[in-house]
Structure 1
Amino acid sequence: MTSLMATKVLIVDDETDFVDLMTRRLEARGLDVVPVVNGEEAVEAVDDHSIDVAVVDLSMPGIDGLETLRQVKEKRPDLEVIMLTGHSSVKSGIEAMKSGATDYLEKPVDLQALMAAIRAAKEARMDRLLERSEEEIQHILKSKSW
């Protein structure tokens, strides 16, 4: 089981009270949290921080959650994104998953469910990065003539 210590989580929600509360609760559990209040800040944050998992609200003014998801995945395909919504629908859930979301949770989000989703997302990211590293090693070994 992957330890969540030193996991960097981006929280993206236009409700500042929610962002503040989730930041405190996740930091109390050992996570390193980067809080932002809109999609534009989220897209910038993935350039400025080594984010492992992003937790993104679906419904936000400006760049909404789906567009934020698309833009951060374009910049960082290895980034795991968990979508949160207070207005879930099958259509938005399917669209989020097709766009690369790892999970789709309803608000009010149960903290244990969110922690489990973050853990699963971190494990998936680490597995993918390990696989990519092994592929690069094999490529290097095959290209050498020793």
Structure 2
Amino acid sequence: MQKFRVLVVDDEVDFLETFVDRLKMRNLDVIGVESGEKALELLDKQNFDVAILDVKMPGMDGIETLREMKRKMPLMEVIMLTGHASVESGIEGMKLGAYDYIMKPADIDELMEKMRQAHEKKSIHEEKIHHARIKELTAHPRRVLDMMKEDEK
């Protein structure tokens, strides 16, 4: 499995620490934070491929955090995680771009598979963007030459 970066956001510190440790044991590059605010601060400094985000948190809740995460990093895939069943928050999260919605306690193997699928989706989107940029540049060779001249300055 290709290694990818994971951000876990959950206000339940014991759960967060245990979950992060279990993901690290599976050779993932993972960081955990206990609030939406801290997650958004971290996104200003670091890139992540997938986020696991608790829905119910004090302060900035998971839905509000999701909205801001997608604004900052639109290609990052977010899996919503909750111990509180709420169809409404699940639907709202999916409308805002969440990749999936999973109930706690989540089976680690199921969650690993969801993360792998989310990372694959992100990689496909990035590849399509890359190919579109190459196609655009090769369609306009003069623009490529102008860009190369700018780089030389």
Confirm or deny a common fold (TM above 0.5). Answer: yes
Q: Distance in 2 between matches of 1:98 and 1:114?
A: 21
Q: Distance in 1 between matches of 2:31 and 2:47?
A: 10
Runs (4+) of structure 1 exceeding 3 A deviation are none
Unaligned runs of 5+ in 1: none
Alignment partner of 1:88 is 2:71: no
Alignment partner of 1:11 is 2:16: no
1:107 corresponds to: 104
Q: Which has the higher helix share?
A: 2
8 Å contact kept, 1:4–1:31: no
Q: Distance in 1 between matches of 2:44 and 2:131?
A: 25
Q: TM-score, normalised by structure 1?
A: 0.95
Unaligned runs of 5+ in 2: 146-153
Q: TM-score, normalised by structure 2?
A: 0.90
How many matched pairs?
Answer: 143
Alignment partner of 1:47 is 2:44: yes
Aligned-residue CA RMSD (Å): 1.2
2:67 corresponds to: 70
Query: Which of 132, 135, 145 lines up with 2:132 in the alignment?
Result: 135
8 Å contact kept, 1:4–1:30: no
Quote the offset at 1:46 in angstroms. 1.3
2:56 corresponds to: 59
Tell me the amino acid that sits aligned with residue 138 of structure 1.
K
Q: Secondary structure at the match of 2:78?
A: strand
Specify the structure having the higher radius of gyration (Cα): 2
Q: Distance in 1 between matches of 2:21 and 2:109?
A: 15
Q: Distance in 1 between matches of 2:44 and 2:76?
A: 12
1:123 corresponds to: 120
**Structure 1 residues 4 and 19: alpha-carbon distance in aligned structure 2, compared to 1, 3 A threshold:** farther
Quote the offset at 1:4 in angstroms. 3.8
